[in-house]
Amino acid sequence: MNIASLILVLLFHHSFAAEFDSSKPVELKGTVTRIDWVNPHAWIYLDVKDDAGKVTSWGCELGSPNLLMRNGWRRDSLKAGDIVVVSGSQAKDGSKIANARTVRLGDGTRVFNAGSSGDAPR
């Protein structure tokens, strides 16, 4: 097991590699439309506008609310209307969903990171 899978297995109750393709990174800049604060994964939904002005809705999977809360985040740490940049990996099946490795606000501040250092709660 390499380091990357070690870190990722922490956040998921399922095999990361069976769902997402880490060799196909995505960077999504968009407006938050909804936050689902629910186990086993919190999700944020984004409207992403391409260069031609076409809007696509993306779902981005985060760690569980429990891990996020133990890392100091709350359900209202991010709100609908916030503009964020999500870096992650797209689903292998081509769906417009991604695993969110990082979520950053416009000023670069990171939100909703949970245990991405690979540590269990301490």
Partner 1 sequence: MILQLVDRIGGLKPWLNGRGLPLKNEISRQGNSTYTCVRITVYHSAQFMKFLLLGFLVIILISSPSFAQWLDFRTAGIPRTPDGKPNLTAPTPRMADGKPDLTGIWVADTSKYLGNLAADSGPVPFQPWAEKVYEERRANLGKDDPEARCMPQGVPKVNTLPYPFKIFQLPGETVILYEMFYLYRQIFTDGRQLPTEFVNPSWMGYSVGKWDDDDFVVETAGMNEQFWMDTNGHPHTDQLRVTERFKRKDFGHMEVEVTIDDPKAYTKPWMATIKQHLLPDTELLEFVCEKNLDPAHLVGK
Least CB distance to partner 1 at residue 90 (A): 10
Please list the alpha-helical segments (H only) found in the chain: 3-11, 65-70
Alpha-carbon distance of 112 to 85, in angstroms, equals 12
E-only strand ranges, 1-122: 20-36, 43-49, 55-61, 83-91, 97-105, 110-111
Q: Which is nearer to partner 1, 104 or 111 (CB)?
A: 111
CA-nearest of 112, 64, 65 to 84 is: 112
Q: Please, which of residues 31-90 interact with partner 1 by CB under 8 A? A: 36, 38-41, 43, 59, 61, 64, 66-67, 69-70
Site string for partner 1, 92-121 (x = CB under 8 A): xx-x-x-----------------x--x-xx
Return the number of the residue (91 or 104) whose C-beta is nearest partner 1: 91
Cβ atoms of 32 and 80 closer than 8 Å: yes
CA 71 to chain centre: 15
Q: How many CB atoms lie within 10 A of CB 33?
A: 13
Give min distance, CB of 46 to partner 1, in A: 15
To partner 1, the closest distance from the beta carbon of 115 in angstroms equals 7
**Residue 122 binds partner 1 (CB under 8 A):** yes
Q: Which residues bind partner 1 (CB under 8 A)?
A: 1, 5-6, 9-11, 13-15, 17-19, 36, 38-41, 43, 59, 61, 64, 66-67, 69-70, 91-93, 95, 97, 115, 118, 120-122
